[in-house]
Structure 1
Amino acid sequence: MSINAALNIFLEEYPQALEQRFSGHSVADFIRNDVPAAVRDVLDVSDRYLVHGSPGQGNWAKVPWVAVYDRFITESAQDGFYLVYLVREDFKGVYLSLNQGVTTVRKVYGADAKVALAARAADYIARLGSVPATTVTGAIDLAVEKASSLGAFYEAGAICSKYYERGSIPADDDLADDLHQFVDLYFRLVTKDLTPTSSSSAEDDEVGLEQEDLTKLREHKRIERNRKLSEKAKKIHGYTCQACGFDFSRQYGEIGRTYIEAHHLTPLHTLKGQKVSLDPETDFSVLCSNCHRMIHRSEFVDKVEEFRARYVVRRES
């Protein structure tokens, strides 16, 4: 299904579906499965991006959505920032928006959450710098009826957006161009988010690095700190260091059980652009804390066996 067809069906059939039982409804399944599939077909970037559609949880959402997550930033609509198609409450149109997760912000800021979201949006806009002339920056209008609804927070959390009016949804090629443009904006913001705002925020192994090398190192760390990816890698490779053979559970007992660090094998100099290989079996290894720190200081970031031969086995003999 084309993205044009998916968005049109979304806008046309959702209002009628609201009057019907939520559980098992075909429109709900359509939003969870068909619309995300249409978006994935256009993206065709890599497994770096996840696409998720939500008609609501248990009940129909006032503002249903389909989101695109960069796995290095977030894997849910609760925190971080992400791309999202947001349908207005009056169903007169849909926004493509670079927006923010609101759940965590609401928990932290309470009644001031919208102010916080708007302030953060302004900061993100400043980091992006120039944006395409066809996009709008800042708050959007989702025609929400209640100021306390989730939609009102999506309005405040908007960073930059583009609006499509019902009945005038652009052709597939134009929608694809817009989506790719917003993915580029998303990636730019992810890259900007890797840049420390002060020297005090730099970690030990980052001190003295030039901007490009620092950005690549932080991207590498962000990959390794992705919880779901690292957990999958550990389950596949086990919990014994693949360089020195250290076993935390043998040394520390129960508190060391299942502890190990996941190491991404992609060399830092190849971390350019959005396509990054993220197969937990072939693109990761597991290392103890010491070997993990040292391999990043060596010339064998992507070659654990050579690191072992050069720095571990030689020392043992």
Structure 2
Amino acid sequence: MPLPMHLRGIYRKKQKSYMMILMLAMLDEIESMEKRVVLASDVKRRFHDYLIKREQTNLVMDLPPKGFKSWKDVLPGNMNDIFNQPINALADVLIYDKPAGTLEIRPTVLDKFDEDFIAELRDFTQAELQDYYDKLAQKQNSLRREFIMFMDQYPTARNEPILDHSLAAHFRQGIPAQLRQLRFMSDLLKVKSSVGFSDRWARMPWIAIMDKRLTADPQSHYYVCYIFSEDMEHLYLCLKHSDEPLKTSGIQEYREAVEGIRSKLPAHSFSSKDIREWGTTKSSLDYLSGVIIHKRYDRTDMPTDEVLVDDLYSMIKLYMETVTKELGEMIPSDTSVGELDQVVAHIRHYINSRGFTYPDHLIENFYLSLRTKPFVILAGISGTGKTKLVSLFAEALGANYTLIPVRPDWSDPTDLIGYKNLPGDFQPGEVTKVLVEASKPENQQRSYFICLDEMNLARVEHYFSDFLSILETREHAKSNGKIVTRNLLSTAGMTEEDEQTYQDLHIPQNVYFIGTVNMDETTHPFSKKVLDRANTIEFNYVKLDNWETEEQGEQSEEQASVEPLDARSQVLTSDYLTLQDALPDHKALIRETTNELVTINAILEKIHAHVGFRVRDEVCFYMIYNQQIGLLERNIAFDHQLCQKILPRLQGSSQGVKRVLLELYKHATNQPNLRIADYEHDASDLYDKVPTNARYQMTANKLAYMLRRFDEDGFTSFWLS
């Protein structure tokens, strides 16, 4: 029987193969059971088996989530997220009864078991899936093709000017970008390549992959490296030592450094044979002396992409394990850091399994805010679960959690930092105790959360200003690339024992400050100094009728078994501290974000509320991390930043403030024809007419509220009271 026309468009909006694979798994189960309603768990098993079998036969397909080498390694919790995507996309065709755990084809599509209809739908689905795979094969990048193309074209290219040469540009940007997209590439890794200098080509171009915990650039320590031979007939995948010892001590010490690393490596399949024979000059011979282990590929017999990727995975795994051992740290496992969107999903599932639910995107937003800067403010009315969010988030990460209730009489940092008693002994404050513990070598891979509860019961600028200032001194240490700050304490006048304990104490990169605040008559407002240095997340919208989903008895067995991540998993560490650090990889996004901020700043300047470079940089970092992980749509992410970095600065009773709010509302709702003059006297109509398709929905809703408050009270502020 012919398939109805309305079903021939069900796969039109496909981004991956999941919808077609789900339908094939569904049809297999229907045929097996000879009924329209089947168990979702059985369909999910078939869905996963299909992905595994196609992978095992080395056919083109969608890759597994980052952090997983193959589909068979994907965890059940991760499969739930993947499985739910096509179910939601096919909601017009399928009914998913979650409490009953069943799936069925809608009666309007299939009212009874019909072999002919099922066969027709199967044929159509298979044809659509094959068409998808054919197009995917054309799109997927190929390392093998890239390497061969470069080796074929390089002998000719190096006889031409290097400046603005397309091959040089592709080698510096295109191939490294492709490597960064590989599913096992951790955020700890940095990719850099060199095809020569400003006026001449390199004899042996290279691509370096460096663990940022140890190696900031190819001039220090050791790293994974692709080296192309001078005649372009061979390519070497290497673990290579920098030529730093060669420059400082000489060739003998250089070879000893290489052998020292080689002797520490565990068993592996790579060769340690000398490859200096491929060099033709003294500089190239010396350069190749730094190769610790390698694998050689020939241009005329380049292996498949599967082999190239598998070899690179093995080399990087060996390298990072060696670095970890050298640093005395435990490297995060692939499943905890390789694919950070899965980490965030795990945190969300963990919190839900403990009987707590939060507004859409709050967990993702909280994660991105902490990643951007280790100081976040959670604002909202009492009882919305601000403090509980911090404790559960820390618990989900296996992190250390310290709750410090703020007292109204705090007027200096003594209670947090500490003081010297009469005999002269230093009495550490609560924060200092945490910093000492977090700074111990055995704890540096564990996250430490410090929650300052009711943070604005005292004036934040009085007791927390020292920490705010020190956080602004963050930089990457030259010795190991870790983020460090200037020292917290002066040891002048301390006893010898105290000086030994506190002389180098700073805020390490594994410590995060979160303040919870209520805005009412018992609390103090924030200055712009504080607001500029934090992401301020507000959640005041409470669903009191959500009690049924909060019952522990309603949790599935799978939810109840959700466990915390490995406590040693570092998934919040910032990659960037300056915009210059991020420019090479994210120039287009930085330009787009900055241009949008320039437009908004032009509005804010009218009441001297415009932002500076610090806010610009942190908004860009937030947007970069979001794009890297793929947590939120671009406009939703920027919407969060407007609500967290821009709107909290706005308050006042002048008409100038109201005009700025109206101009921001016009921009947020994307209504170019909105006449500001029509609402300068009375903007109350806007509160009930916020477009549901606004460019920045949360910002538009908040601005409408602030405008109504201005009309009613003659004064407005971001903060509820």
Which range, TM-score by smaller chain? 0.5 to 0.7
Distance 1:219 1:225, change over 3 A: farther
3-state SS of paired residue (1:89): coil
Shift of 1:71: 0.2
The unaligned stretches of length 5 or more in structure 1 are 197-213, 249-258, 283-317
1:11 match: 151
Distance 1:240 1:95, change over 3 A: closer
The unaligned stretches of length 5 or more in structure 2 are 1-140, 330-439, 448-474, 492-504, 513-563, 578-721
| 1:217-232 equivalences in 2 (<5 Å) | 217=443, 226-227=477-478, 230=483
Whole-angstrom CA distance in 1 between matches of 2:143 and 2:252? 34
Whole-angstrom CA distance in 1 between matches of 2:261 and 2:242? 13
Whole-angstrom CA distance in 2 between matches of 1:152 and 1:43? 34
Give the one of 197, 201, 212 matched to 1:57: 197
Answer yes or no: is 1:263 the counterpart of 2:509: yes
Shift of 1:121: 1.7
Whole-angstrom CA distance in 1 between matches of 2:217 and 2:194? 11
The superposition leaves residues 143-194 of structure 1 with CA deviations (integer Å, 9 ceiling, x where unpaired) of 22211x1x32331111110000012111111111000000111012102312
Native 8 Å contact 1:88 1:142 kept in 2: no
2:309 match: 176
2:220 match: 79
Distance 1:215 1:124, change over 3 A: farther
Whole-angstrom CA distance in 2 between matches of 1:43 and 1:67? 18
Answer yes or no: is 1:100 the counterpart of 2:241: yes
Give the one of 171, 177, 190 matched to 2:323: 190
The superposition leaves residues 202-241 of structure 1 with CA deviations (integer Å, 9 ceiling, x where unpaired) of xxxxxxxxxxxx97546679xx96456627xx6xxxx896
Native 8 Å contact 2:258 2:292 kept in 1: yes
Whole-angstrom CA distance in 2 between matches of 1:220 and 1:138? 39
Whole-angstrom CA distance in 2 between matches of 1:42 and 1:230? 26
Native 8 Å contact 2:176 2:192 kept in 1: yes
Whole-angstrom CA distance in 1 between matches of 2:223 and 2:441? 20
| 1:119-198 equivalences in 2 (<5 Å) | 119-132=256-269, 135-141=270-276, 143-147=278-282, 149=283, 151-195=284-328
Native 8 Å contact 2:446 2:567 kept in 1: no
Amino acid at match of 1:23: L
Native 8 Å contact 1:53 1:67 kept in 2: yes
The superposition leaves residues 3-29 of structure 1 with CA deviations (integer Å, 9 ceiling, x where unpaired) of 112211221111111100011111110
Give the one of 270, 274, 279 matched to 2:574: 279
- The normalised TM-score by structure 2 is 0.30
Whole-angstrom CA distance in 2 between matches of 1:155 and 1:43? 29
Whole-angstrom CA distance in 1 between matches of 2:181 and 2:259? 31
Whole-angstrom CA distance in 2 between matches of 1:217 and 1:260? 15
Shift of 1:260: 5.8
The superposition leaves residues 68-113 of structure 1 with CA deviations (integer Å, 9 ceiling, x where unpaired) of 01001112111110000000011111100000111x223311xx2x
3-state SS of paired residue (1:136): coil
Note the aligned Cα RMSD (angstroms). Answer: 3.4
Distance 1:216 1:160, change over 3 A: farther
Q: Which has the larger radius of gyration?
A: 2
Question: What count of residue pairs does the alignment treat as equivalent?
Answer: 233
Native 8 Å contact 1:122 1:138 kept in 2: no
Whole-angstrom CA distance in 2 between matches of 1:190 and 1:40? 19
Distance 1:124 1:218, change over 3 A: farther
Greater relative contact order (CA < 8 Å, ≥ 6 in sequence): 1
